[in-house]
Structure 1
């Protein structure tokens, strides 16, 4: 679960299911530059970033998320003060109430949606399968087509790619669906699934990689985290994540792409510090941290 509304085809990436309507809001917030803004994409000598104030591990108002840290890195490299435009994801990640020209960057955005300009991907990641490290029955499982998945009690989010794959294999009868209710923090729902896996109420769970990695690492019981990079049927489970920028500002986009390219190793190190499973565009794991605690 990505837990961010980025595209109808990627519902659940962050417990967000608003889809194309929010993409339209993003396009508005990152719309044509206001008069006098100029090509740099920076208003008033600031780097303005749209972010959720309560959506760990991505961002929060205290600046503890990895997207907060990445925004700080970009601002430092561009020698610009950083300013946030806070807006809860549950009501539409990029605020249509703020209007056009709300911010210069949306920090996490799926590559290739077509409704907003995006940078080059700064990381690729996948959905993950999570189960207790002491669950001998599932030891070594690395794909959802494994026959051992039959009769397992699995936590999932309806409409997400791994849920669709489970359905293809006839494995949803024993699944437990999780939903994000209005006003509820997405991180709390992720923690709830992790808690049920740790307690044994669930045998396994399916989460968006950055969220699963972050909360599994904090579980009181050791959990195994398996990136779903070996699926050969159904929708893709691997996605490139970019930053959203305003259209028709090629120099600004180029500037952000250069920051990404020049600092890719530091970005990888930052993401790994949050236990984000990283991979190349073909699904090969990149120095993924310890899968088991």
Structure 2
């Protein structure tokens, strides 16, 4: 009995210590000096980032480090469930370069780009819809990533859905690349994918595929998103610095995104460089 009581006391003491430690950890003051720009990133997730520094988030991180005047370091982790908890919240890194606006697990900076789901088809395809309600989708075999916004409207339009998994370990699988390659090989007639992914992989097929941003969609599906950087809650000065950086270096950021064929929207939801979106 005494041995059992001792074990219970030890367990309670350990649990209490963990609670107190976590409480103290959460109340740590915001860092004022930065010896390096410590970025939380996926090491195998092009066009966003990889360990070779080939993604557009890598290049934006390099621009930030240069602006701060400090070295750039990374903490690599697959961007799956638990990514924020295992990186940013552990304080082993200080910023996520790409986070959708409104993502509650982080404090969002101002948006530095806005993009939209896009249709990818062969260059000679007669399918050029800019809205998911287009009757031209009826009977067409269209690739879509599971649980993404285009699925339901496409089904209502009569498309035959070819599904690809959403949550994967990027070290093992690349579903969007598979979807694009299926279009190039003729296994599907098109794919509806998140704009940065669609633009990047479509441009790198031989011959390149055509990308049609869905700027005129009328189905009510949420297809365009503002992308911010993500920092820990309770770090207002760091957020303010990043907002200032985005404001000062926006043209350079836009140029980087253009290098990766990202379809970019202005504040009115129209493609940058055009007065209005086209329609089929």
CA RMSD between the two structures: 2.3
Describe the SS at the equivalent of 2:174: helix
* TM-score normalised over the length of structure 2: 0.82
What is the aligned counterpart of 2:146 among 139, 158, 163?
Answer: 158
Aligned partners of 2:120 and 2:191 also within 8 Å: yes
CA–CA distance in 2 between the matches of 1:281 and 1:187? Answer: 34
Aligned partners of 1:126 and 1:208 also within 8 Å: yes
Tell me what 1:53 maps to. Answer: 43
Tell me what 1:86 maps to. Answer: 76
Tell me what 2:14 maps to. Answer: none
Q: CA, structure 1 residues 135+99, in 2 after alignment: closer, same or farther (shift >3 Å)?
A: closer
What is the aligned counterpart of 2:209 among 212, 223, 230?
Answer: 223
CA–CA distance in 1 between the matches of 2:223 and 2:267? Answer: 12
Q: 1:142-163: per-residue Cα shift (whole Å, max 9, x none)? A: 2111111100000011211111
CA–CA distance in 2 between the matches of 1:109 and 1:186? Answer: 22
Aligned partners of 1:109 and 1:244 also within 8 Å: yes
Unpaired runs of 5+ residues, structure 1, are: 1-27, 289-293
Higher radius of gyration, 1 or 2: 2
Tell me what 1:113 maps to. Answer: 103
Q: CA, structure 1 residues 38+196, in 2 after alignment: closer, same or farther (shift >3 Å)?
A: closer
Describe the SS at the equivalent of 2:218: coil
Q: 1:84-130: per-residue Cα shift (whole Å, max 9, x none)? A: 01111246433527852121101110101233211000000011111
Describe the SS at the equivalent of 1:161: coil
CA–CA distance in 2 between the matches of 1:66 and 1:103? Answer: 19
TM superposition shift of 1:181: 7.1
* TM-score normalised over the length of structure 1: 0.79
Asked if 1:214 corresponds to 2:200, the answer is yes
Asked if 1:171 corresponds to 2:158, the answer is yes
Asked if 1:237 corresponds to 2:230, the answer is no
CA–CA distance in 2 between the matches of 1:278 and 1:75? Answer: 24
Q: CA, structure 1 residues 128+97, in 2 after alignment: closer, same or farther (shift >3 Å)?
A: closer
The aligned length equals: 251
Aligned partners of 2:145 and 2:166 also within 8 Å: no
Describe the SS at the equivalent of 1:205: strand
Aligned partners of 1:118 and 1:243 also within 8 Å: yes
Tell me what 2:31 maps to. Answer: 38
Tell me what 2:4 maps to. Answer: none
Unpaired runs of 5+ residues, structure 2, are: 1-21, 275-280
CA–CA distance in 2 between the matches of 1:99 and 1:165? Answer: 36
